[in-house]
């Protein structure tokens, strides 16, 4: 490995360290309570170093969200590659979405459960841009729903309404299981399977 390649690898390793530290702090303390200085202190670097990789705190948050949404989108795409039944794709995809959140609670909290108060309109537009991974992941979910309706496997409903309802319900499962971890839930896999199956059964034509 040459000097240039080694430096690039070192830069990527440091970037991941910054992201890991920010994710942990955002999940634990809340986005608004964390400063770039605090992130730098956690990895024992100067704040100046952090700014070499990320423009500001919102850029850090955006990068973390993009990373999580990209994983979810890839998961959905892999499912649709291996099944021609859109209902099956939807069921597996929603189950995997829930399991991902429970397996990676910090990723999930930062991407779906943080409430930043100081994001500018420019920041917000970046998060909901058609090119963002979050938008692409949602549109992939909506497209699967639309295919279920097109193939008359679901009732004639608004795909946007159905996709958002399924997302809301799935998010409720993940967030409650993360936050209310001491509640005497029934066996987790059984609960997830029952919830998803019942949501989809109500939509079937």
Residue 110: per-residue pLDDT: 94
- The percent of residues in the chain predicted with pLDDT above 90, rounded, is 81
**C-alpha Rg value of the chain to the nearest Å:** 19
Residue 124: per-residue pLDDT: 86
Q: Do 88 and 18 share a domain, yes or no?
A: no
CATH code of the domain in which 16 resides: 1.10.10.60
Q: Do 39 and 63 share a domain, yes or no?
A: no
Q: Do 138 and 168 share a domain, yes or no?
A: yes
Residue 8: per-residue pLDDT: 83
The whole-angstrom separation of Cα 1 and Cα 76 is 35
| pLDDT > 80? residue 137 | yes
Mean per-residue pLDDT, 103-110: 95
| pLDDT > 80? residue 132 | yes
| pLDDT > 70? residue 1 | no
Residue 5: per-residue pLDDT: 78
- Read off the pLDDT of residues 17-44 as tens digits, 9 standing for 90 and up: 999 999 999 999 999 999 999 999 999 9
Mean pLDDT over all residues of the chain?
93
The whole-angstrom separation of Cα 135 and Cα 62 is 13
Q: Do 164 and 102 share a domain, yes or no?
A: yes
Residue 55: per-residue pLDDT: 93
The whole-angstrom separation of Cα 122 and Cα 171 is 26
| pLDDT > 90? residue 135 | yes
Mean per-residue pLDDT, 146-175: 96
Q: Do 74 and 171 share a domain, yes or no?
A: yes
Residue 122: per-residue pLDDT: 86
Mean per-residue pLDDT, 100-123: 89
For the range 35-39, what are the long-range contacts, defined as Cβ-Cβ under 8 Å and sequence gap of 24 or more?
A: 36/60
Q: Domain boundary residue among 35, 54, 73?
A: 54
**120 — pLDDT class (breaks 50, 70, 90):** confident
- Return the higher-pLDDT residue of 114 and 200: 200
| pLDDT > 80? residue 3 | no
Q: Do 104 and 180 share a domain, yes or no?
A: yes
- Read off the pLDDT of residues 48-94 as tens digits, 9 standing for 90 and up: 999 999 999 999 999 999 999 999 999 999 998 888 899 999 999 99
Q: Do 97 and 145 share a domain, yes or no?
A: yes
- The percent of residues in the chain predicted with pLDDT above 70, rounded, is 100
Domain residue limits at 15: 1-54
Indicate the number of domains in the chain: 2
Q: Do 14 and 92 share a domain, yes or no?
A: no
Whole-angstrom CA distances from 169 to 89, 133, 145, 173, 182 are: 17, 21, 15, 7, 20
């Amino acid at each position: 490995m040459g000097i240039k390649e080694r430096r690039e690898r070192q830069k990527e390793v440091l970037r991941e360290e910054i992201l890991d530290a920010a994710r942990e702090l955002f999940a634990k303390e809340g986005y608004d309570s964390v400063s770039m200085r605090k992130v730098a202190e956690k990895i024992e670097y100067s704040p100046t170093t952090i700014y070499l990789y990320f423009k500001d705190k919102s850029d850090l948050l955006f990068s973390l969200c993009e990373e999580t949404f990209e994983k979810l989108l890839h998961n959905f795409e892999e499912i649709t590659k291996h099944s021609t039944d859109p209902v099956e794709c939807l069921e597996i995809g929603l189950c995997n979405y829930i399991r991902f959140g429970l397996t990676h609670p910090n990723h999930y909290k930062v991407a779906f459960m943080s409430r930043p108060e100081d994001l500018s309109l420019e920041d917000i537009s970046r998060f909901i841009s058609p090119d963002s991974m979050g938008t692409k992941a949602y549109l992939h979910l909506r497209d699967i729903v639309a295919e279920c309706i097109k193939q008359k496997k679901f009732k004639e409903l608004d795909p946007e309404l159905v996709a958002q309802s399924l997302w809301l319900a799935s998010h409720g499962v993940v967030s409650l299981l993360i936050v209310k971890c001491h509640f005497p839930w029934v066996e987790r896999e059984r609960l997830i399977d029952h919830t998803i199956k019942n949501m989809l059964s109500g939509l079937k034509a």
